[in-house]
Amino acid sequence: MTNNAIKKKVRGILDYYLVRNKHRKTPERYAILDAVYSFDGHFTLEELGKLLESRNFRVSRATLYNTMKLFIELRLVVRHRFIGQTKYEGCYKNENHIHQVCTVCGSVDEILSPEIVSAISATRFHRFHKDGFTLYIYGVCAKCQRRLSRPKNSNSDKDKKEQKTK
Ligand SMILES: [Zn+2]
Ligand SMILES: [Zn+2]
């Protein structure tokens, strides 16, 4: 699916919801949805606000927050609560990747894992219709591994030196 086809599809989902619930079709909601699906990957509310601003749409933080809440309910957006940061992601037809989360610094990388993705789509669910998935793999990133192992090494170097001088 092309990005434009996805944008059209998610607009349709929002349309359907707004009409069915007799909500007003405010242009803001559509502008926000379009911006969400213009990001390639995760983004913060600030980044979303900036993108909208660059498109001459000024939206308050409260409106952004509430709109994202609605999109999450409609399963158009997932919210990632990572250490010290909340990020969002358009999740419609966006299941080609999994998330690598560092439990020390909180950094998140998206990695492609066709094996896992195809294993999940091949999984048979019991009395359950699957809509989608978000997967997190927790661990320690390379940077933190280096940082965590460094002090130990330098201590043992010092120990060795001290032993030599004795
Ligand atoms: Zn992601
Ligand atoms: Zn880390």
> Tell me: the pLDDT tens digits for 82-131?
877 899 999 988 888 899 999 998 888 889 989 998 999 899 999 998 87
- As a whole number of angstroms, the distance between CA 2 and CA 53 comes to 25
Q: 121 alpha carbon to ligand 2 midpoint, in Å? A: 30
* 19 Cα distance to chain centroid: 28
Looking at 76, 94, 112, which one is the last position of a domain? 94
Give yes or no: residues 120 and 70 share one domain. Answer: no
pLDDT at 164 over 80: no
Q: What is the CATH number for 123?
A: 3.30.1490.190
Count of domains observed in the chain: 2
Are residues 102 and 79 both part of a single domain?
no
How far is 75 from 91, CA to CA, in rounded Å? 7
> Is the same domain home to 53 and 102?
no
Structural domain harbouring 121:
95-166
Q: Is 87 helix (H, G, I), strand (E, B) or coil?
A: strand
Model pLDDT, residue 100? 92
- 85 and 27 share one domain: yes
Ranges assigned E (strand) in 4-135: 77-82, 85-90, 97-102, 108-112
Cα 135 to ligand 2 centre (Å): 18
- Which residues are part of a known binding site? 102, 105, 141, 144
Nearest to 134 by CA among 82, 91, 84: 91
Tokens representing 71 are: 């999109």
* Ligand nearest to C-alpha 90: 1
| Over residues 17-44, mean pLDDT | 93
Q: Is the domain of 123 the same as that of 44? A: no
Instruction: Specify the pLDDT at position 90.
Output: 93
**Partners of 138 in the beta sheet?**
101
pLDDT digits (tens, 9 = 90+) for 33-58: 999 999 988 999 999 999 999 999 99
pLDDT for 138 equals 94
For residue 162, pLDDT over 70 is answered with no
102 beta partners: 139
User: How many A from CA of 12 to the centre of ligand 1?
Assistant: 23
Among all bound ligands, the one having the nearest atom to the CA of 140 is 2
